[in-house]
Amino acid sequence: MSTLNDEIVREALAQLDGWQGDRRGIHRTLEITDSEHAELTERIKVVADAMRLRPDLHRTGDHTEIDLDPVDGDLLTTAQIALAARIEAAYRSIAGPTLTSGPERLAQLRVPRIWQRWRRHAGGSVADPG
């Protein structure tokens, strides 16, 4: 798996609403109901198993925290960014659209373009998150 440089990680995080972090790992906190958490966890499990990745999910009150950290001190990979994009898509399909206008909406529309760049960086070895 291909590790990412700082610039690509910054661009990826700019396109992934609510995700934060750097090359050492990324995370997202979602305010969702218990039933939404259960559905999201199931979807993440299916995708993560297929990608052979192990995100950390923690539920505290009405918040779900998701951590995608590289193993053994490595740096973030294209596969982990792809998983974050798939998690974000699953979250949006479960919780409904969260952004409808303004610069944030424009960022949502640019996701396919940045996704193509990640795929080029990974040599085309990463499947489309959509």
Domain range for residue 64? Answer: 6-121
| pLDDT, position 129 | 52
In a domain, 43, yes or no: yes
How much is the average pLDDT of 97-119? 54
Number of H helices, E strands in the chain: 4, 4
* Nearest residue to 93 via CA among 25, 26, 27, 47: 47
**pLDDT band, residue 107 (cuts 50/70/90):** low
In a domain, 126, yes or no: no
d(CA 123, CA 118): 9
- As given in the structure block, the two tokens for residue 71 are 């193993």
In a domain, 1, yes or no: no
- As given in the structure block, the two tokens for residue 69 are 């950290």
In a domain, 21, yes or no: yes
C-beta of residue 128 within 8 angstroms of C-beta of residue 115? yes
The mean of the pLDDT values for the chain is: 82
Domain count, the chain: 1
For residue 124, pLDDT over 70 is answered with no
In a domain, 47, yes or no: yes
C-beta of residue 94 within 8 angstroms of C-beta of residue 32? yes
pLDDT tens, residue by residue, 10-52: 999 999 989 999 999 999 999 999 999 999 999 999 999 999 9
Percent of the chain scored above 90 by pLDDT? 56
Q: String of b and e for 21-45 (b: at least 16 CB within 10 Å)? A: bebebbbbebebeeebbebbbebbe
For residue 100, pLDDT over 70 is answered with no
In a domain, 129, yes or no: no
Look up the CATH number of the domain holding residue 38.
Answer: 3.30.1360.20
In a domain, 107, yes or no: yes
In a domain, 75, yes or no: yes
C-beta of residue 122 within 8 angstroms of C-beta of residue 2? yes
